[in-house]
């Protein structure tokens, strides 16, 4: 089976990542493109899948399945993205669009919600491995959560369970990209932190959350924006832990890579806010920034009818994908 492969596509607000992985869990190649918005994002996605399929063929590997993860409100049964504010998508029949593309090989293709599948992957390979009640909170370009109760992933009546990024964290606060005001996304996501810092400081040279964290101790504006972001996260997390009572909260996504600069103040403030309620473990996933990628590959294994085999992969094998670089010629 090792020469056969699956393709996992993780659509982020900033970039789309395509991982070609053997059915035994070995990474063959990674390709990456800037996402774009609207039709441009769809075109980029089609091109990236087609190039990755060509890459599998060039390696003599049979492509058995494709998993595509999208942010936003995703119907996993129909493969339709009802709304994704960071992509400027509304009512996009993603599975149908990709299935009609003449450049994509005829492998089975499934569409899933990015954070839901990041949560499934974290439960299989990450900080929540072996835990039956957990929350995976993804803090990247946007914010969303995967909620797992007694081993079951909560999807909700319309498939949008876990969209905590668009819950109100600051009443009457900043306007969010979704059109509401005071959303958690607007204050604590990577995009929100950078937008609020630029507005407060007038600086445009801080282009990543890592840059922002690097100046926390010397830049009062950076410190204020960071502290306000953590306060907003506390509000969102307090509601989550009171509602679903998880054993573990696993933090994933780019902002989670702040490590103790995030987890230490977040844990302290959450404990104070929660009062009588015990606070679950706050852990940064050992999958670091790639649980979405791992989830996309696992969805690809499901579309190929091989999900159970994928669940046998080791944490170390999956975490090793983090060290990959884009394939030659990829941008």
Q: What is the pLDDT of residues 169-212, one digit of tens each?
A: 999 999 998 899 999 999 999 999 999 999 999 998 898 999 99
Positive or negative: CA dihedral 209, 215, 217, 222: negative
Do the domains 5-117+288-323 and 129-284 sit in the same CATH topology, yes or no? Answer: yes
Q: Are 244 and 149 in contact (CB under 8 A)?
A: yes
- Segments making up each domain of the chain, as ranges: 5-117+288-323, 129-284
CATH superfamily of domain region 129-284: ATPase, nucleotide binding domain (3.30.420.40)
- How far from each other are the two terminal CA atoms of the chain, in whole angstroms? 30
Nearest CA to 112 out of 35, 8, 252 is that of 8
Contacts of 228 (CB under 8 A, 6+ apart): 187, 196
Domain 5-117+288-323, CATH among 3.30.1180.20, 3.60.20.10, 3.90.1820.10, 3.30.420.40? 3.30.420.40
Which residues in the chain show pLDDT less than 70? Answer: 1-2, 103, 105, 324-331
Query: What radius of gyration, in Å, describes the C-alpha atoms of the chain?
Result: 19
pLDDT of residue 330: 38
pLDDT digits (tens, 9 = 90+) for 96-107: 999 887 767 678
Contacts of 105 (CB under 8 A, 6+ apart): 53, 56, 57, 63
pLDDT of residue 115: 85
Alpha helices (runs of H) in 81-166, residue ranges in sequence order = 94-99, 114-125
pTM for the model stands at 0.83
Alpha carbon 27 to chain centroid distance?
19
């Amino acid at each position: 089976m090792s020469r056969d492969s699956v393709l996992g596509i993780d659509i982020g607000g900033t970039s789309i990542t395509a991982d070609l992985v053997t059915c035994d869990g070995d990474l063959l190649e990674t390709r990456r493109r800037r996402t774009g918005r609207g039709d441009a994002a769809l075109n980029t996605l089609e091109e990236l899948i087609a190039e990755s399929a060509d890459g599998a063929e060039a390696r003599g590997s049979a492509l058995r399945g494709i998993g595509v993860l999208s942010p936003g409100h995703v119907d996993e049964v129909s493969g339709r993205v009802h709304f994704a504010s960071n992509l400027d998508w509304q009512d996009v029949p993603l599975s149908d669009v990709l299935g009609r593309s003449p450049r994509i090989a005829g492998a089975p293709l499934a569409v899933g919600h990015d954070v839901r599948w990041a949560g499934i992957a974290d439960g299989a390979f990450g900080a929540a491995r072996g835990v039956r009640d957990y929350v995976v909170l993804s803090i990247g370009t946007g914010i969303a959560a995967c909620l797992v109760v007694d081993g079951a992933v909560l999807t909700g009546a319309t498939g949008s369970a876990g969209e905590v990024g668009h819950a109100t964290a600051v009443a009457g606060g900043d306007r969010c990209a979704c059109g509401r005001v005071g959303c958690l996304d607007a204050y604590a996501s990577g995009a929100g932190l950078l937008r609020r810092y630029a507005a407060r400081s007038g600086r445009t040279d801080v282009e990543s959350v890592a840059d922002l964290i690097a100046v926390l101790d010397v830049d009062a504006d950076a410190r204020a924006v960071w502290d306000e972001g953590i306060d907003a996260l506390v509000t969102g997390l307090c509601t989550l832990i009171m509602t679903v009572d998880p054993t573990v909260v696993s933090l994933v996504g780019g902002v989670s890579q702040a490590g103790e600069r995030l987890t230490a103040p977040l844990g302290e403030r959450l404990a104070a806010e929660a009062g009588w309620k015990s606070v679950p473990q706050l852990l940064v996933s050992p999958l670091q920034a790639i649980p979405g990628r791992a989830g996309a590959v696992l969805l690809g294994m499901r579309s190929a009818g091989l999900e159970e085999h994928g669940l046998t992969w080791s944490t170390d094998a999956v975490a090793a994908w983090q060290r990959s670089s884009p394939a030659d010629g990829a941008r």
